[in-house]
Amino acid sequence: MGLSIVQKIIKSHLVEGEMKPGEAVGIKIDQTLTQDATGTMAYLEFEAMNIPEIKTELSVSYVDHNTSQMGFENADDHKYLQTIAEKFGIRYSKAGNGICHQVHLERFGLPGKTLLGSDSHTPTGGGIGMLSIGAGGLDVACAQAGLPFYITFPKVLKVDLSGKLNPWVTAKDVILYILKLLSTKGNVGWVVEFGGDGVKTLTVPERATITNMGAELGVTTSIFPSDEITRSFLKAQDRESGWVELRADANAEYDRRINIDLGTLEPRFATPHSPGNVCLVKELVGTKVDQVCIGSCTNASYKDLMTVASMVKGKKLPAHVSLAVAPGSKQVFKMLADNGALLALINFGARIMESACGFCIGNGQAPCTDAISIRTNNRNFKGRSGTVSANVYLASPETAAACAITGVITDPRELGTPPEIEIPDDFPIDDSMVFFDKNETVKIYRGPNIGDPPQSEPLTKDLVGEIALKVEDKITTDHIMPAGIRLKYRSNIPKYSEFVFEPVDPTFPDRCLKNKQKNRSNFIVAGLSYGQGSSREHAAICPAYLGVKGIIAKSIERIHWANLVNFGIIPMMFVDENDFDKIEQSDELSMKDITQAVKYKKTFVIKNVTKNYDFKVKLELNKREREIILVGGVLNYISNPE
């Protein structure tokens, strides 16, 4: 049987396990990336492993998320990251150099290699034919230490693209269409592989927009072939020597296939408050718009921003609209500055932001109360913009610019012929904001905000405690561990823990701590797709700090599941989903001999003491995960495997 692209890369990196769907496989990781908001913890964890230097081919530490520096905390974290990078031989991409995924695609990503990143949008690298996977910081720290990364051998969905996008229809509209088809839940354990004739009509940045937002499907990653277009992209970045061709065998077999004729697609929105709520732009035309934000790792490439600049040139932003534009990388920023496009944006009335995540993670540009905000980001979870009552619509830069020009929701197809953007053969290369100075004797800088890596205890024989919180479907990591103004506490677990579930129930941390002080465990009950969204392991570390010992859900998303295990929290799933309705917040639960169950059993009976009935949960854990939970998390496991 022939192999798909995904299978080829896994095969060439396989260290452990069998290549069979559902089996756990360990793969060698060639490259890693971290960003500052997950990076400080990842490096504290790496330090705790006592490994003298990184074992990967290349590791980059980016500073792009938390750059607002409101208070000393961010700047201190950046200094810590810079000194750590020097000590261990990691490249350090300074604040201002750009968003990790965009810079990595431009400057470091390579087809056929594996990349593990402590950010859920790491699959952006799939646009260049790289097997790029998002994970928690601790998994990235392990990869840096030369340990394999474990995934469930994925099922592969082949998306056959045919035809060509019509004018004004973009890569963003492709992924929004796929999100409409597949939704944001139920895709755990899958990889999306693109193929077909339509692939050659898409540039690398367009492919990267699609694989980037594939993260919203909840799949392990998404990937495109590496072809002549990939080669030209690398050549333009003066990196052609790293190009290899990568395509699926003609007789490769897939677990599922879908066909998309690019020529049939139309401009789309993801409407509030999920990337999976997708409708056509034309259904909403005329609605007044308060804010437009163009940027993020999904849509801030040279072509994206040149298109916007050409569309707005010579026009004036309506008085009631605020427009923010953030270039994805310093390279893009410089090109816009050099060719006058920046001036067109400034003259139009755009507010030019630094080249960073910024508004995408709720770090500034919170819209006004009840605002309609059109953004080119990938996530529009309630409150993520910083304004709980705001309605955020995700769209292409073309649609966003059309809305900014008219001040109301506008289908860009109403604006005549789209601008033709010429892509230069050579991009200006300037890596002067990426430092690579290994110095083992450097003194690591630790500001007062930097705490210790998390510590956890082995699992105890019995657990007794209460349901500290019951939540419904699609709880995201932004609900569990908010970013925005709380981001600066990422390296201070006790402080950050004060904000666990802040948007859902701000009394949660206090209640948990009270139970913990009485030696009682806390449990969370959740519906479908618990832990959607980001890779932030704080959504596991902080609950663990508050004494959360188990999550009982209808289903749990991949990265969050791994993070729970990494920090010793037991992920459990209802055998009978009707039990979700019976159980209530504050119910007391008793889990007798839970250690035995975690060791060997696939199901386990929990007693609801308050309501006096038993219910069954599944323990869908592999051997390694069982061992990790028993010893209280990966850090204990590495230093003392069972």
Residue 101 touching ligand MIC (CB under 6 A): no
- For the chain, the residue count is 642
Answer for which of 31, 34, 38, 355 binds ligand MIC (CB under 6 A) is 38
Measured from the CB atom, the residue of 39 and 527 that comes closer to ligand MIC is 39
Question: What backbone torsions phi and psi does residue 471 show, to the nearest 5 degrees?
Answer: -125, 165
548 CB-near residues (< 8 Å, 6+ apart): 468, 512, 521, 522, 523, 524, 569
Residue 119 touching ligand SF4 (CB under 6 A): yes
Answer for which of 248, 297, 467, 528 binds ligand SF4 (CB under 6 A) is 297
Answer for which of 449, 535, 555, 566 binds ligand MIC (CB under 6 A) is 535
**Cα angle value 427/213/555 (rounded, 5°):** 155
Q: Burial, 232: exposed, middle or buried (Cβ in 10 Å; 0-12, 13-18, 19+)?
A: middle
CA distance 75 to 68: 9
CA distance 90 to 8: 28
Measured from the CB atom, the residue of 217 and 483 that comes closer to ligand MIC is 483
Q: What residues form DSSP beta bridges with 288?
A: 408
Binding-site string for ligand MIC from residue 124 to residue 153, where x marks contact by CB under 6 A and - marks none: ----------x-------------------
Q: What residues form DSSP beta bridges with 151?
A: 25
Answer for which of 116, 357, 371, 539 binds ligand SF4 (CB under 6 A) is 357
Structure tokens at 320: 């009631």
Question: What backbone torsions phi and psi does residue 40 show, to the nearest 5 degrees?
Answer: -60, -45
The footprint of ligand MIC on residues 469-498 (CB under 6 A) is 483
Q: Which stretch binds ligand SF4 (CB under 6 A): 253-261, 286-294, 357-365, 580-588?
A: 357-365
Measured from the CB atom, the residue of 501 and 615 that comes closer to ligand MIC is 501
The footprint of ligand MIC on residues 51-70 (CB under 6 A) is 65
Residue 296's binding partner out of ligand SF4, ligand MIC, none, with CB under 5 to 8 Å set by partner kind: ligand SF4
Answer for which of 42, 99, 234, 552 binds ligand SF4 (CB under 6 A) is 99
Q: Which stretch binds ligand SF4 (CB under 6 A): 47-55, 67-75, 353-361, 404-412?
A: 353-361
Question: What backbone torsions phi and psi does residue 256 show, to the nearest 5 degrees?
Answer: -160, 150
Answer for which of 361, 371, 400, 401 binds ligand SF4 (CB under 6 A) is 361
Residue with tokens 């230069």: 424
Q: What residues form DSSP beta bridges with 25?
A: 151
Q: Which stretch binds ligand MIC (CB under 6 A): 117-125, 222-230, 236-244, 565-573?
A: 117-125
Residue 32 touching ligand SF4 (CB under 6 A): no
Q: Which stretch binds ligand SF4 (CB under 6 A): 226-234, 355-363, 448-456, 620-628?
A: 355-363
CA distance 194 to 248: 10
Residue 28 touching ligand MIC (CB under 6 A): no
Between helices 72-88 and 36-48, what is the axis angle to 10°? 50
Answer for which of 360, 374, 544, 562 binds ligand SF4 (CB under 6 A) is 360
User: How far lies 223's CA from each of 111, 136, 337, in Å?
Assistant: 10, 20, 32
Residue 99's binding partner out of ligand SF4, ligand MIC, none, with CB under 5 to 8 Å set by partner kind: ligand SF4
Residue 566 touching ligand MIC (CB under 6 A): no
Residue 353 touching ligand SF4 (CB under 6 A): no
Residue 216 touching ligand SF4 (CB under 6 A): no
Residue 121 touching ligand SF4 (CB under 6 A): yes
User: How far lies 345's CA from each of 298, 307, 349, in Å?
Assistant: 20, 11, 7
186 CB-near residues (< 8 Å, 6+ apart): 218, 529, 555
The footprint of ligand SF4 on residues 40-59 (CB under 6 A) is none
Structure tokens at 191: 């990889």
CA atoms within 13 A on the CB side of 275: 30
Q: Which stretch binds ligand MIC (CB under 6 A): 125-133, 205-213, 312-320, 527-535?
A: 527-535
Cis bond before residue 273 (omega within 30° of 0):
yes
Q: Which stretch binds ligand SF4 (CB under 6 A): 356-364, 460-468, 503-511, 628-636?
A: 356-364
Answer for which of 174, 336, 361, 570 binds ligand MIC (CB under 6 A) is 361
Structure tokens at 249: 């065998």
522 CB-near residues (< 8 Å, 6+ apart): 465, 466, 468, 511, 512, 515, 516, 543, 546, 547, 548, 549
Q: Which residue is nearest to ligand MIC (CB)?
A: 534
CB of 536 to ligand MIC, least distance (A): 3
Q: Which stretch binds ligand MIC (CB under 6 A): 119-127, 199-207, 335-343, 415-423?
A: 119-127
Residues that bind ligand MIC (CB under 6 A): 37-38, 65, 119-121, 134, 361, 379, 483, 533-536
Footprint of ligand SF4 on this chain (CB under 6 A)? 65, 99, 119, 121, 296-297, 357, 360-361, 377-378
